[in-house]
Amino acid sequence: SAVISQKPSRDICQRGTSLTIQCQVDSQVTMMFWYRQQPGQSLTLIATANQGSEATYESGFVIDKFPISRPNLTFSTLTVSNMSPEDSSIYLCSAGQYGYTFGSGTRLTVV
């Protein structure tokens, strides 16, 4: 199965700034998925990203806040924009037809 490298593993950011999270897959995949896991909570799907098309966002998530890029079949980025303390979470990507290979997550703390 695919292996995903996710960076950064953690970051502490000032409110009002943006952070871009990267996921690199070691093989070509059609679909990539981005999730948010708030402290002590379950995973919530933010959006799905298919190469060559606009990402599809779930209810409650908007492109201006969480822009996603998918330039090729092995790479995707998620940007968390204009951050506030409420954005402090773990962000995870996954990939594959069924999305069950995950990156190791990015722990984001906004101060």
- Chain residues in the site for other proteins (CB under 8 A): 31, 33, 37, 41-45, 48, 50, 56, 90, 92, 94, 98-102, 104-105, 107
Residue type, 96: G
Least distance between other proteins and beta carbon 24 (Å): 16
Q: Which is closer to other proteins, CB of 31 or CB of 73?
A: 31
The C-alpha angle 7, 44, 26, rounded to 5 degrees, equals 35
Least distance between other proteins and beta carbon 44 (Å): 8
Q: Which is closer to other proteins, CB of 76 or CB of 101?
A: 101
Q: Which is closer to other proteins, CB of 82 or CB of 100?
A: 100
List C-alpha distances in Å: 47 to 12, 15, 21: 23, 23, 14
Q: Which contacts (CB < 8 Å, 24+ apart) does range 40-46 have?
A: 43/92, 46/78, 46/91
Q: Which of 38, 39, 37, 73 is nearest to 53 (CA)?
A: 73
Q: Which is closer to other proteins, CB of 95 or CB of 110?
A: 95
Least distance between other proteins and beta carbon 12 (Å): 17
